[in-house]
Amino acid sequence: MPESDPGAPVISDPFKLVATITQARRDYLRGQKLLIDARNADKTLQRRGHAPSPESNARLASIEQQLDTIAAQIHQAQSLLAARTVAGGGEPLSSSEAEYLLLAVKASDAALASYRAEPEKMTSMLNRLLTSLEGPFETRIGHIAVSMRDYGPGNPGAEISG
């Protein structure tokens, strides 16, 4: 959760990202507890000479997958909050926030490959777009999302006009 700083600007949250992050963190902690309990149950069975069942292994894999999904949702929501802060004149996106923002807007494989090849360049471009496009945050992020989905050979995505 964001730290409370009395001097920090108050940023609206129409997508309820803070509530989403808070709930996802709770779900993640519950999932971790389930995973620990399942692993402990398997260890108890092994100490008694029994091998974990295929169902048990499938359950563990399922819980781990769910935890990965929840963690990705948290990171994407946090990146959208960070992008809103940038658009409002705050601190620029970090490189990892830029990557999660690309994932949150469902950027093309080409855009993600470009980010992975030159993360600083893509991060800089996203920060520039967030601060230079006109309109409310939702409009800015919409323009960025469309551009990053269309990003590819022959359409580098940087030609967004505000």
pLDDT tens digit sequence for 53-65: 999 999 999 999 9
Contact predicate 42/52, CB 8 Å: yes
Q: pLDDT of 97-151, one tens digit each?
A: 999 999 999 999 999 999 999 999 999 999 999 999 999 988 999 999 999 998 8
Backbone dihedral region for residue 8 (phi beyond 0: left; psi -120 to 50: alpha; all else: beta): beta
pTM: 0.75
153: DSSP letter: T
**CA 150 to centroid of chain Cα atoms:** 20
